[in-house]
Amino acid sequence: MSRVHVLLLQHGVTAFDYSVPAGMALQPGDVVMVPLGPRRVMGVVWDDDTTAPPVNPAKLKPVIARLDIAPLDAPLRRLIDWVADYYIASPSAVLRMAMPSLSALEPPRRVPHWRFVPGQPPRTARRAEVLERLTDLDEPGALPLAEWARLADTTPAMLRTLAAAGHFDTIAAAEPAPPLPRPHHAPPTLSPAQTAAAARLRAAVTARTFAPLLLHGVTGSGKTEVYFEAIAATLFPDGKGPPGDSRRAEDNEASAQSSSPACGGGVSEADGGGKGQTLVLLPEIALTQPWITRFTARFGVPPTVWHSSLKPAARRAAWRAATTGAAKVIVGARSALFLPLPNLRLIIVDEAHDSAFKQEEGVQYHARDTAVMRAQFAGIPIILSTATPALETREQVARGRYQEITLPARFGGAQLPAITMIDLRRTPPPRGRWIAPPLFAALTETLNRGEQALLFLNRRGYAPLTLCRACGERINCPNCTAWMVEHRLTRRLLCHHCGHQSPVPPACPSCGVEHSLVPCGPGVERLAEEVAASFPAARTALVTSDSVRGADDAAALVTAVQNRELDLLIGTQMITKGYDFPGLTLVGVIDADLGLSGGDLRAAERSFQQIAQVSGRAGRGETAGRVFVQTHMPEAPVMTAIAASDAEGFYAAERDARLRHHMPPFGRLAALVISSEDEAAATDAARAIGATAPAATGFEVWGPAPAPLAMLRGRHRHRLLIHARRSAPLQDYIRRWLAPLRLPASVRVTIDVDPHSFL
Ligand SMILES: Nc1ncnc2c1ncn2[C@@H]1O[C@H](COP(=O)(O)OP(=O)(O)OP(=O)(O)O)[C@@H](O)[C@H]1O
Ligand SMILES: [Zn+2]
């Protein structure tokens, strides 16, 4: 090949052709350094673009170097092309999600390892003591300094002193490979229903073909335990016997030992050659720590973690381990989806209904749907695990495209909780409070019995609105069409859309009257205040993105709840997902109507899922659970369905409504958001774009109209919504429409295919 097509990682450019210098052999997928003007930039050799006009090879600049990085395999390249095409994004922007940062791509770092050299006793007593402990160690071999300090119960500084006296020599060793998960470490005893489900998942892994599987089990049915069995099935070398074969189990334990970090060896095929990789996607980073704990209990070693808040060194190590195939199980949030994984055998999307899988910035892809495409291109099974599958997923089952595997009952005889609706019109809470009498009584009983309770209110902060009693002024964000939310813990007003902050002003900014500002409505902090006044002895924790800021906080919270150091949790949607707290027996939903306002396409479905999920946290252990749901509209279909635990009825009605209006999944939507800091420019551009919408059968264009969030981060926003019949070529239509447009530089148009947010 004398010429290659290279997709560049650079912002603002896509792909160029380059010539290949003599002596360099390049394949599609190879990572290269190429010239771009005066700079050198990184790119990936892409599959030939046969539609491009031929270029005179003499005019091409040569590739500078091929980098020593695992190449991107064909299925991943196809996925990147698919995402760019389907979501109408730049292929470069998609590639950047697969190739995180230059520093993460550096060749393996040689970490200094230290080897102990016994010798003449040192001069001071303290050193002699440490030396004695070192001598007593049982041939630890070469280790990083920190590890020596831990083993000898001393400081790195002390060890450096000993090294200066000749007691250590150092060698450079490659980063240790992650230890291998052991499929037979601690398997659970599965119930008959779980056994049957696990067998079907294992069969899909062994079959090695594309298979989308919906693992649909009620909350607490053991979906995690069951899909762990599918992971176990990927951990056996090719053709070397299925799980359950004890001879192989011993081999596995042995190879796991030999790759322990202490041997300091690099990654080799012998560490796990042939064994498959599993990618597990979770909706939130906060859920990773409890997941890691459960995985470690089951498989004896932790998985490899990948998410955006990893520190650089951990990121580099995880990248190398994942992309060389050394890491067998990789768990992460959305961004892990594009990791190059040379031996990918299984994908699992946990809590697959969760709307957090939809990315709302940059490339606006849906990680659940994209994961299914990745599985298809790789020819492997994918498990979507959830208690409340999305209507889209249910429809795929109905059309026979996905197989459904059900777990209809909770594990161990635990019952689903009893649900009581509280009509706030008939039994309202006392003035200035938010907990209605029936929930209050249940809470009192629960706490008196020493059991745990959870109150769910999907509103961060103290109050969603701050109002002036004198003039009626509402305090708005200067950059957004949104109220500023009071946060008492930080004594600030905060915009939840752009992050703008200000102190709570002593007087109304509009009329100047002092002490006139009053909080309106409850947020979780205000609810916590009420609880503290009513139940002063209860040990309470707030669970919101303000108080639980990362994986470590989430882990600490889980431990505290499991150790019964907390009696009562007050949380936003963060607390509804996936947590397993066996001592929790009461759930109160403070405002079930909250999710229904705004009336977007999925509002009712999302409310149903959220309330079903949070209810699912109750009664998972030995004691039965109770759920109280406070609402002003108990007669709304979503509320009657919740009261009757009638998911099937709810989804049948929801499906009919969407079908009647040709709404997804029975029709397709795409949104265009036109924005500018200059209000007139945004309005003019929106009008001009609206006026040029091509006429085509099967397509309707709604708008332009000012967006509900008419201003966001200082940009004025207008929206257009494109509705298409199911089989209409939506992306082509949009490309044809937008390609000839010439817009002022201040105007930005973002395209959202299959939008989930309509703000
Ligand atoms: N076969 C089993 N043996 C022992 N414990 C089990 C088994 N199956 C499930 N469990 C336990 O039951 C609890 C619920 O299981 P798990 O969390 O896997 O359910 P889930 O279906 O994933 O729930 P959710 O959808 O609410 O997240 C956990 O504590 C789990 O360890
Ligand atoms: Zn704002």
Q: Interhelix angle for 192-207 vs 223-234, to 10°? A: 30
**Cα separation of 301 and 613, whole Å?**
29
Q: Is 520 annotated as a binding residue?
A: no
Side-chain-side CA neighbours of 699 within 13 Å: the count stands at 18
In this prediction, residue 608 carries a pLDDT of 93
Could you count the other beta carbons within 10 Å of the beta carbon of residue 324?
Answer: 21
Nearest CA to ligand 1 atom 1: 190
In this prediction, residue 257 carries a pLDDT of 36
What would the mean pLDDT of 606-615 be, rounded to a whole number?
Answer: 91
Q: Report the relative pairing of strands 39-46 and 3-8 from DSSP bridges.
A: antiparallel
Best residue for ligand 1 mutational test, from 411, 576, 614 (most atoms within 8 Å of Cβ): 411
Q: Report the relative pairing of strands 517-520 and 465-468 from DSSP bridges.
A: antiparallel
Convert the pLDDT of each residue in 238-297 to its tens digit. Answer: 545 444 433 333 334 333 333 333 333 333 333 344 589 999 999 988 888 889 989 999
Amino acid letter, 155: T
**Cα separation of 490 and 261, whole Å?**
43
Please report the atom of ligand 1 found closest to the CA of residue 578. Answer: 27
Please report the atom of ligand 1 found closest to the CA of residue 407. Answer: 21
CA of 642 to the centre of ligand 1 (A): 22
Reply yes or no on domain 3-99 having CATH 3.40.1440.60.
yes
- Compute the C-alpha angle 390/396/397, nearest 5°: 95
CA of 411 to the centre of ligand 1 (A): 6
In 3D space, the residue among 264, 230, 238, 6 whose CA is nearest the CA of residue 114 turns out to be 264
220: left (phi over 0), alpha (psi -120 to 50) or beta: left
In this prediction, residue 174 carries a pLDDT of 64
Homologous superfamily (CATH) of 192-411 is P-loop containing nucleotide triphosphate hydrolases (3.40.50.300)
In order, the DSSP letters of 346-414 are EEEEETTT-GGGB--SSS--BHHHHHHHHHHHHT-EEEEEESS--HHHHHHHHTTSSEEEEE-S-GGGP
pLDDT surpassing 90 at residue 384: yes
DSSP letter at 420 equals: E
What would the mean pLDDT of 74-88 be, rounded to a whole number?
Answer: 96
In this prediction, residue 243 carries a pLDDT of 45
Please report the atom of ligand 1 found closest to the CA of residue 582. Answer: 29
| One-letter-per-residue 3-state SS of 204-240 | HHHHCCCEEEEEEECCCCCHHHHHHHHHHHHCCCCCC
Please report the atom of ligand 1 found closest to the CA of residue 188. Answer: 3
* Among 51-60, 252-261, 441-450, 577-586, the least confident range: 252-261
**Cα separation of 125 and 628, whole Å?**
67
Q: Which ligand is nearest the CA of 484, by number?
A: 2
CA of 286 to the centre of ligand 1 (A): 19
Per the prediction, the chain carries an average pLDDT of: 87
CA of 408 to the centre of ligand 1 (A): 13
pLDDT surpassing 60 at residue 671: yes
Best residue for ligand 1 mutational test, from 201, 214, 580, 622 (most atoms within 8 Å of Cβ): 580
Contact criterion met (CB below 8 Å) for 634 and 596: no
CA of 562 to the centre of ligand 1 (A): 15
**Domain residue spans of the chain:** 3-99, 110-174, 192-411, 414-459+522-656, 667-753
Q: Interhelix angle for 288-299 vs 223-234, to 10°? A: 60
**Cα separation of 164 and 162, whole Å?**
5
What would the mean pLDDT of 358-374 be, rounded to a whole number?
Answer: 95
Residues 6+ apart with CB under 8 A from 571: 454, 455, 456, 457, 524, 542, 543, 544
Please report the atom of ligand 1 found closest to the CA of residue 219. Answer: 26
Burial of 136 (0-12, 13-18, 19+ CB in 10 A): exposed
Best residue for ligand 1 mutational test, from 191, 224, 386, 613 (most atoms within 8 Å of Cβ): 224
CA of 505 to the centre of ligand 2 (A): 17
In this prediction, residue 138 carries a pLDDT of 67
Nearest CA to ligand 1 atom 8: 222
In this prediction, residue 297 carries a pLDDT of 94
Contact criterion met (CB below 8 Å) for 488 and 462: yes
What would the mean pLDDT of 635-644 be, rounded to a whole number?
Answer: 92
Convert the pLDDT of each residue in 112-168 to its tens digit. Answer: 777 887 777 667 888 888 888 888 876 666 777 877 887 888 888 888 888 888 888
**Cα separation of 374 and 241, whole Å?**
27
Radius of gyration of the chain (CA): 29
Question: 254-270 burial, b for 16+ CB within 10 Å, e for fewer?
Answer: ebbeebeeeebbebeee
Nearest CA to ligand 1 atom 27: 578
Q: Any residues with Cβ below 6 Å from ligand 1, and which?
A: 188-191, 194, 217, 219-225, 387, 411, 578, 580, 616, 620
pLDDT surpassing 90 at residue 3: no
Convert the pLDDT of each residue in 101-112 to its tens digit. Answer: 666 666 656 667
In this prediction, residue 222 carries a pLDDT of 94
Q: CA dihedral in degrees (186, 340, 262, 314; nearest 10)?
A: -100
Q: Is 263 annotated as a binding residue?
A: no
Q: Who wins on pLDDT, 142 or 661?
A: 661
Q: Is 480 annotated as a binding residue?
A: yes
pLDDT surpassing 70 at residue 481: yes
Q: What percent of the chain has pLDDT over 70?
A: 91
- Compute the C-alpha angle 283/288/294, nearest 5°: 125
In this prediction, residue 261 carries a pLDDT of 35
In 3D space, the residue among 608, 678, 669 whose CA is nearest the CA of residue 638 turns out to be 608
Please report the atom of ligand 1 found closest to the CA of residue 190. Answer: 1
Strand partners, 461: none
Please report the atom of ligand 1 found closest to the CA of residue 194. Answer: 1
Q: Which ligand is nearest the CA of 282, by number?
A: 1
What would the mean pLDDT of 542-570 be, rounded to a whole number?
Answer: 88
CA of 480 to the centre of ligand 2 (A): 4
CA of 224 to the centre of ligand 1 (A): 6
Q: Which ligand is nearest the CA of 485, by number?
A: 2
Nearest CA to ligand 1 atom 5: 188
pLDDT surpassing 80 at residue 721: yes
In this prediction, residue 366 carries a pLDDT of 97
CA of 105 to the centre of ligand 1 (A): 38
What would the mean pLDDT of 227-233 be, rounded to a whole number?
Answer: 96
Helix (H) or strand (E) holding 41: strand 39-46
Nearest CA to ligand 1 atom 30: 222
CA of 166 to the centre of ligand 1 (A): 54
CA of 273 to the centre of ligand 1 (A): 31
Strongest mean pLDDT among 66-70, 141-145, 194-198, 572-576 = 194-198
Please report the atom of ligand 1 found closest to the CA of residue 225. Answer: 18
250: left (phi over 0), alpha (psi -120 to 50) or beta: alpha
Nearest CA to ligand 1 atom 24: 219
414-459+522-656: CATH topology: Rossmann fold (3.40.50)
In 3D space, the residue among 695, 462, 708 whose CA is nearest the CA of residue 600 turns out to be 708
| Cα distances (Å, whole numbers) of residue 387 to 209, 219, 350, 384, 591 | 25, 6, 10, 10, 22
Q: Which ligand is nearest the CA of 218, by number?
A: 1
Q: Which ligand is nearest the CA of 475, by number?
A: 2
Burial of 609 (0-12, 13-18, 19+ CB in 10 A): buried
Please report the atom of ligand 1 found closest to the CA of residue 613. Answer: 26
Convert the pLDDT of each residue in 389-406 to its tens digit. Answer: 999 999 999 999 999 999
pLDDT surpassing 70 at residue 585: yes
In this prediction, residue 526 carries a pLDDT of 95
Q: Is 498 annotated as a binding residue?
A: yes
Q: Who wins on pLDDT, 733 or 548?
A: 733
Q: Do 192-411 and 414-459+522-656 agree at the fold level? A: yes
Q: Which ligand is nearest the CA of 413, by number?
A: 1
Nearest CA to ligand 1 atom 23: 220
Alpha carbon 80 to its chain centroid, in Å, reads 19
Residue 69: pLDDT band with limits 50, 70, 90: confident
Amino acid letter, 137: L
**Cα separation of 284 and 550, whole Å?**
10
**Cα separation of 463 and 468, whole Å?**
14
In this prediction, residue 254 carries a pLDDT of 37
Sign of CA dihedral 129, 135, 137, 141: positive
> Could you give phi then psi for residue 411, rounded to 5 degrees?
-75, 145
**Cα separation of 124 and 154, whole Å?**
15
Nearest CA to ligand 1 atom 11: 222
Contact criterion met (CB below 8 Å) for 621 and 417: no
Q: Which CATH number fits domain 667-753: 3.20.20.30, 3.30.70.600, 3.90.650.10, 3.40.50.2300?
A: 3.30.70.600
CA of 485 to the centre of ligand 2 (A): 10
